[in-house]
Structure 1
Amino acid sequence: MTPHEPSARPRTAATAAPAAVAALAAALAAVCLVAAPVPVAHAAGPSVLPANGRIADRAIALGDRTEEAAAPAVSDSGSDRTPDMGNGALLVPLGLVVVVGGLAIYAYTVRRRRAEARTTPGSSAQQQGWGGAGTAGVPLSQLDAEAGKLLVGADDAIRTSTEELGFAAARFGDGAAEPFTAALTYARSELTTAFRLRQKLDDSYPEDDPARRQMLEEIIARCTEADRRLDEESESFDRLRDLERNAPEALTTAETAFRAVAGRTGAAESTFAALRQRYADSASAAVAGNIEQTKDRLLFATNSLNQARQAVDGGDNDRAAVHVRAAESAVGQATTLVDAVDRMAREAAEAEVRLSGALTGTDADLAAARTLLDGTAAGTSTADLQGRISRAETVTAGVRREQRAGRYDPVDALRRIEEADASLNKALDGTRRAAELLEPATLTARSTVGAAADYLTTHRGAVGCQARTRLAEAHRHLEQSGALADTDAQRAFSEAQQAGAMAGQAQYLAEQDVRTYENGHGWDPGGAVVGGIILGTVGGPARFGGSGTRGRMSSGH
């Protein structure tokens, strides 16, 4: 990737406005002082500190009224003297008009800059010393580490915020949740772009150092901006949800959800046992630990709900809110884990049904390919076609052998048949059966992506940047496949294949991360830290917001 070299910015009218206005104001002030009578000075009253002990930035506090505050007072209510209306006095109104006009231009420039700071990805990172010239002397290895850390943090913040927003929307309605939904949409967009850049950095096409630095800076900037947008809404979200005041009602809702998922756990355990009995171990490997982890989450939720109930009964709603929020997350993850088992069973059964038709279709394509091979003119190379035929024959024979053996993995078998048939299809026609192949390809891709997403969501406290990047890329390919399905089935099929491949990598990397974490940290009560239910660094439940505010419940905010 060729880097875009930063160019020196010309000094535009907008950027020069503050200095020009200041000079204009000084000149006019000098004229006015010469021409106008000297006003009587009035002593100002003492400044009063806000109750919270902080002095707000005056420009920010005034907002769009900067020009009002900046304009000098023109009346002297403490004097009944008639002002001198000499020739020099005529300059005063004119001078004030020009000064006020100039200050209005300055105020507009300030507002525009603030708007750019809110919408330009680099601005927030630069304020924190991680953007533009602020990274010039930072080693690439340090930038890389910071980018990875921010990607993980922003991804966790979005997942937690999405989860808690669901509780708020269920109680207060989608209309009340709309501002926070918009904030999440914006943050996701920034993070999606950041993950796409990270994937480019990780691919097999190495960038030179300037390009790599530029891409890392943009990742940092976009993650920071996503965080900022969520942090910006956290206070408003707290006012909407008001979990401390509404703790008794929220506790009742959480207890109802707990009973529902606890009642499903036994059935999910039976479903998993049936999966293991009917199919190969690989067919259920992605959900192999789900039942045990569900019980861990429910155990943690039980403890949290009990403590919340005791706090509510004792009239301590602030303490109750902390335990309710932790219980909500635990119950939500238990539901995700149980849902994953049920979905895996449905997808395996569907793949098994589709496999029969896929084998029949591949047999037909093999017959057509052999006919094409027989009709090839003498002297024409047939090595490529022969290789495709041989591979398809090997795959179909292997799948039928697995079926006869009894326990096999129908999702993986369907995927292998699709790939072999797609290779034949390219040799025959290029598009002849692409639309037919797309549907089963989408099934296998969705199954793999869904399993990886569930695993990462319920283990996010231990999963690193690489796994998250591959999962984000898998989602992107799957969405692209859906968008192309009606117009270009062949490309849609290719995108679905890439989605499945990326999701498989994400699952593998995430499982590695979790094993490493567990080996290094030992026992995790209820899986609460591994699951990201409570923040390991502060020991409290995560909440809606970015990295700057999501731990506020633990720090007493």
Structure 2
Amino acid sequence: MTPASTRTARSVLAALILLTTLLGGGVARAEEPFRVPEQVTDLSGVLDDGDRAEVEAAVDRLYTDQGLRLWVVLVDDFSGVPYAQWGERTAVASDFGDRDILLAVATVARSYTLNVPQAQTAISNSEISDLEQSSIEPALREEQWAGAATAAATGLAKAVSTTGSGSAGLWVALAVLVLVVVGAIAFGRIRTARRRHAAVEAARTVDGSDPAALAALPADVLDERAREILAETDEAVRASAEELAAATDELGEAGARPFTTALADARRALAEAHELRQRLDDAIPESPEERRRMVERIVTSCAEADRVLDEKVAEFDEIRNLLIDAGARLDALTQRQVEQTARLDGCTATLESLRSRYDASVLAPVADNVALAREQLALADSAIDDGRDAAAQPVGQQGPVVAAVRTAESALTRARTLLDAVDHADEDIVAAVDQLPAAIADAREDVATADRLATHGGEALASARSATVAAIERAERSGATDPLGAMHALVSADAALDDALAAATEAQQRDEHARARLTRDLAAASAQVRAANEFIASRSGAVKVQARTRLAEAERHLQAAQHFAESDAPRALQHAAAALSLSAQASHAAQADVADWEATQRPRHSGGYGGGSTAGGVLTGVLIDSVLRGGFGGGRSYGNRRSGGYGGFGGGPRSFGGSGSSGRIGRSSGGRF
């Protein structure tokens, strides 16, 4: 290929790669080096169905056209392992050969590695570097995860393909690709705009007072929603102020005071939101974390202003409607006053009949009801007259109508209740006398149940139990002379006890479930911790500090779970779960350490672990002291921590997967993006 053709081919490659960088990804998760299960492994969840199909198609084309297998792995971060070592260790764990290439991306830690076998001489180091700098890294910086993977597949295929069509054909292809790129850019922008619009629409349904819901929103969507809700709230406060100004003229300052207070509270919350917006928009920069907290506070302040105003909407509307329809409301109240007044004579006769049949102590709850009802009806009559006088005043002076109507309504309601009690007294007294023994028996059963559930009910159950016991004692003491009062006190206390018993029963069920689950979880955690401990103990010469730390923490949590097993099952469950998780992490880390150790031994010794029983002694920790003193490995200084060895045991870092394992030596490149 001539220099001009080479430059042309690279231009075509750049155009192809630009096309693939227009699609995006999402959020991922962290992973230790592991055996890759499939050619497109998205443990981070950043690829949607369309993205995955695009990457799989590119990987399949690379294999069909060039016989190369590209393995694409997306994780959160490389768990503290340098990107090149992560790629090499993953390649070894996956038994990759000379035709396997690994592209691994840490989407949150924002680093990546491209591991290409040395045997692929058709792909030069300069071509790998050019592919990374011109195509893969730009796509990754824009979080175009599918684009980066597709660019890698396309670039690798181009690097190993044979030339032959000549520069003229390349220029034609370049022109066609430029048109495709322009169309793809336009499509990408449209798709991005649609996704953003959908995200903002979804954000409008999020409860602004819910911090967890706000935390789930992307930063750009949250900022746009904050701008929207600030404008909406500002307009709502302005409109409320105008409405309240008109209502104050009708109600007067005293009548409008509840709404004036609510408006003042809303204005304070809105002022805070405006102040935060001003600070975000000024020339002084904030850190991303601080900026997000301020944006979230804008949303919550506006939500608070809306809540304060919304709480008074129904009351405000009712008052305005009352002023508009004052005449009809007063007429209806007059009708109610007449109806209740007509009942006075009949209730007086009923009360006299009751006095001839029951002792005064039995009738004490209703003895004064007729007299009290007469007073309430007189109050209602006076309030209705005041309301009519106020309604006859000019607009702007009718505020007293509201107080008059509400006073009359309250007085009439109390009068009706008093008279109803007289009408029902005979029936209620008979029922109370007949039902009181059964009610006492039921209450005693509930008290006994409360005693059984005392450990699960807490203070609420103890208080309800005491109140019920007092009501039982009162019923037994005064049931004959005051059956209505005794029954009412007993029913009220027993109802509260029923609620406390329901809560205690639910707590008991949760505790029993937790204890049953705790038995299983403790057994599983104990087994997992024991297995991790045995593995590390039998291979301590190769296990580094991370696995040991995880195991120590797992043992601490296991001891805590066993300590709280009897007294606090839910808390013990939490410790058991932590022990199970940490011991599993310890096992994985220890296994990786042993794999690293074995990989460093095999290249030096074709017969296993470098010297038979001696290497086995190092692995199991028997010969750690001799290793630290340089007594193993032909005088080479193992264990010199300044040399970069693994945990002080073994030589410096080497390429993973040497001739003693898979026969594959890789070139690992990559970096931050």
User: TM-score, with normalisation over the residues of structure 2?
Assistant: 0.26
- Tell which has more relative contact order, 1 or 2 (C-alpha 8 A, sep 6+): 1
- Structure with a larger share of its residues in strand: 2
Between structure 1 and structure 2, the one with the greater Rg is 2
User: TM-score, with normalisation over the residues of structure 1?
Assistant: 0.31
